[in-house]
Each structure stands twice: as structure tokens, then as C-alpha cells.
Amino acid sequence: MKPILITTLILLTGHSLVVAQNRPTQPMRDAASHDTLSQSLRMAQQKDPIRDLGPAIGKSDEDPAKAYAGRDLIKDSAILCYRGNLTLVPKRAVLHLPANLKDRFEAKDKVKVQNWKDFYQSNRGWIRTVEVTREQAMGQSPMAEEVVAAFENSTSAVIATFKGGPISVLPYVAPEDGAAEPAAADSPSSPATKETSNQSAQR
């Protein structure tokens, strides 16, 4: 009887050891200290600077893409088409178009669409470019008179470019004449100087 009992105990002990070895071990975690909890609480109570920026400026509830959804790229562009190739440039980028080249600014059937660089390289014989500044494109600065006179008499189509790419050029609007600048405080004609001179004369 005793040998059977001893054998049973040995088997049970070995089985328990095998189960304990095969059981996945869990990593031991340190208990959170008082300092750690206090620091976490302070960080949670700190003000979020993003929340203090106030309400968004402008119409944040509107999608800005909708403002351009109804635009027609073809209507806003000038079509250049020649020898089976076609490209688009802004309408206001065409500074000069001779009458004999108007048929090359019309769309035709069975054409290949190209980017401006490739199309211009193939048609440099009848296209001329004029590089403009950002201020000239925005209508804030006039183009040189000699440049305008030169391309107005050109037999080539003239396209305005900015850093090599076609760009719309708004008409130049000259500032109004007679815009008086505010007088400086130390200017002889300023009111402050006149008042000081009158007080000195009365003394």
C-alpha cells in the first residue's frame, strides 16, 4: 500500500512541476509610487495651449474646395494646339497673339495632351516667352515699355512665364496721383513744429 502511495505522490509532484514550468510568466510591475501619481495628476491638470487658442478664424464649417468645384479648367485656360499636340496655359498668360496664329489656339480632334515644357520645346519657332516678376503678374508693377513694344510687334505668340511656367498677368493699375504722405513730427511743416514756433514768438 505504501509503495503505491509514494509512487502516486511522486507522479503528482512531477505533474505540478511540469505545469508550473509551462505556465506563461507575467512580468512583475512596480507599484506606482506617491511621487509618480502626483506628477501624473499635475500633468493632467496643466492647461492645454491648443484649447486656449480660442475659436477658429474664418468659416471653419465650410469646405474651401467647394469654392473651386464649379470652375471649368477649359474655360479658364487658353488652348494651344499644333501638329497633333495640345497644351493649356492661363488665359491671361497670352500677352500677344498674331492673327495668323489664331487657328493654333483652337482645340482639334485626335490630339495628344502635353505639359507646357514639352509643348514649348517642340514649338519654339512660333512661341515666345516673356519672364515676368511676381509684382508684374499681380498687376502691382508695370512691364518695361520697350518689352511691351517689342512683343506687340512680334510675329510670334507671346506667353508670360514666371520661373519658366505660364502665369496670368493682371493689368497694371497705377496708384492715384496726389496721395499725400503724413508729415513727420520733426518736419518744419508739421503742426507740432508750427505750434512750438508760435509759442516761442509769443515769449
Is 94 a residue whose pLDDT tops 80? yes
Note the pLDDT tens digit of each residue in 57-81: 656 666 666 665 656 777 889 999 9
At 49 the pLDDT is 61
Note the pLDDT tens digit of each residue in 151-167: 999 999 999 999 999 99
Using CA atoms of 17, 20, 22, 24 in order, give the dihedral in degrees to the nearest 10: -170
Q: Which three cell numbers stand for residue 53?
A: 487658442
Spell out where 114-196 has E strands. 127-131, 157-162, 165-166
Q: Is 162 strand, coil or helix?
A: strand
Q: Domain residues of the chain, as ranges?
A: 77-166
Note the pLDDT tens digit of each residue in 7-53: 555 555 555 555 455 555 555 555 556 677 777 777 766 655 655 65
Q: Which three cell numbers stand for residue 111?
A: 490630339
At 113 the pLDDT is 95
Q: pLDDT band for 174, please (50, 70, 90 cuts).
A: confident
Q: Is 112 strand, coil or helix?
A: strand
At 7 the pLDDT is 56
Looking at residue 47, the DSSP 8-state letter turns out to be P
